[in-house]
Amino acid sequence: MLTTRLTHAFGIEHPVVLAPMDLVSGARLATAVTTAGGLGLIGGGYGDGEWLKREFAAAAGTRVGCGFITWSLARRPELLDIALEHRPAAVMLSFGDPAPFAGRIRAATVPLLCQVHTLDQARQALDAGADVVVAQGGEAGGHGVGTRSTFTLIPDVADLIAARSPDTLLLGAGGVADGRGLAGALALGADGVLVGTRFWATEEAVVSARAHARAVAADGDETIRTSVYDIVRSYDWPVE
Ligand SMILES: Cc1cc2nc3c(=O)[nH]c(=O)nc-3n(C[C@H](O)[C@H](O)[C@H](O)COP(=O)(O)O)c2cc1C
């Protein structure tokens, strides 16, 4: 059994957290990850109150948290109340300044995870009082800034945390798909990992069968970075 500060802090068996992938990380996937000994986070994403209530209800009895896209949450701040009413195991904020929401989350004594892509954002997360900083490198699926690799960002953020806020925990995110990636992240100074794409590929994820088949059949050389999904969904990302 691999124990780290993360497994102790959250009372979990494995230092693995499910990324709160918008709509993909529903109750079924989040509870599967928690039940397997990690920590599942429901993907609150852009924000749909009814969906969030339904998924929390479906996960009832299993300890799960949830995550939001911060700039989108700023447009619908009531979604945070819905999440906090369900006593989540954690709330994760990504893509935007966490400060406006951090106070409410911490006042509810819910652990705050902040996902960052740069050292500057890591400083902002520490200023906001994050309990856990998630260092997301450019290998990550979904959105990201894409300028830093996971391999260099984790040790940079680990050094920053050691100097400024040693009790804050650190997760590495981006390109971790198996035990080798987890071991690498721990060696670089993380307390655990946040995994998205690998869990996207599981049957518990809310993904169309066709997309699953295409992705599973593909190899890493076929990776591309594109904003086409945002264009077809008319999402206007302000922070990238
Ligand atoms: C399909 C997909 C959707 C995502 N949606 C979100 C999201 O809504 N909110 C968020 O904070 N991160 C989201 N992410 C990014 C993850 O939080 C995480 O940084 C990433 O999955 C880690 O890299 P990996 O995909 O290589 O494991 C998403 C990732 C994927 C693959």
| Two tokens, residue 128 | 């906001």
First to last CA, the chain: 39
Please check whether residue 1 lies inside any domain of the structure.
no
Locate 165 and state its tokens: 């806020």
Q: Within a domain: residue 74?
A: yes
Beta-bridge partner residues of 91: 66, 112
Q: Check: CB of residue 7 under 8 Å from CB of residue 171.
A: no
Contact 145, 138 (CB under 8 A): yes
User: Is 5 within a domain?
Assistant: no
Q: CB-based contacts of 202: which residues, under 8 Å, 6+ apart?
A: 29, 32
106-110 long-range contacts (CB < 8 A, ≥24 apart) are: 108/84, 110/65, 110/84
Is 240 a member of any domain? Answer: no
pLDDT at 219: 94
Nearest CA to ligand 1 atom 21: 196
Domain of residue 183, CATH code: 3.20.20.70
Residue 154 in any domain: the answer is yes
The residue contributing the CA closest to ligand 1 atom 5 is 21
Number of domains in the chain: 1
140 located within any domain: yes
- Ligand 1 atom index nearest CA of 198: 27
Instruction: Summarize pLDDT for 53-112 with one digit per residue, the tens.
Output: 999 999 999 999 999 999 999 999 999 999 999 999 999 999 999 999 999 999 999 999
Ligand 1 binding residues, C-beta < 6 A = 19-22, 24, 43, 45, 67, 69, 94, 115, 136, 139-142, 173-176, 194-198, 200
CB-CB neighbours of 164 under 10 Å: 12
Q: What is the pLDDT of residue 240?
A: 47
pLDDT in tens, the chain (240 residues): 899 999 999 999 999 999 999 999 999 999 999 999 999 999 998 889 999 999 999 999 999 999 999 999 999 999 999 999 999 999 999 999 999 999 999 999 999 999 999 999 999 999 999 999 999 999 999 988 878 999 999 999 999 999 999 999 999 999 999 999 999 999 999 999 999 999 999 999 999 999 999 999 999 999 998 888 889 988 888 754
Q: Tokens 């100074």 map to which residue?
A: 189
pTM of the complete model: 0.97
Q: Nearest CA to 52 among 72, 75, 81, 74?
A: 81
* Residue nearest to ligand 1 atom 15, measured at CA: 142
Q: Is 239 among the domain residues?
A: no
Residues 6+ apart with CB under 8 A from 68: 20, 44, 45, 47, 79, 80, 83, 91, 92, 93, 94
Q: How far apart are CA 119 and CA 104, in angstroms?
A: 24
Q: Does a structural domain hold residue 200?
A: yes
CA 237 to ligand 1 centroid distance, Å: 15
- Residue 169's domain comprises 15-233
pLDDT at 191: 98
| Cα 103 from Cα 129, distance rounded (Å) | 8
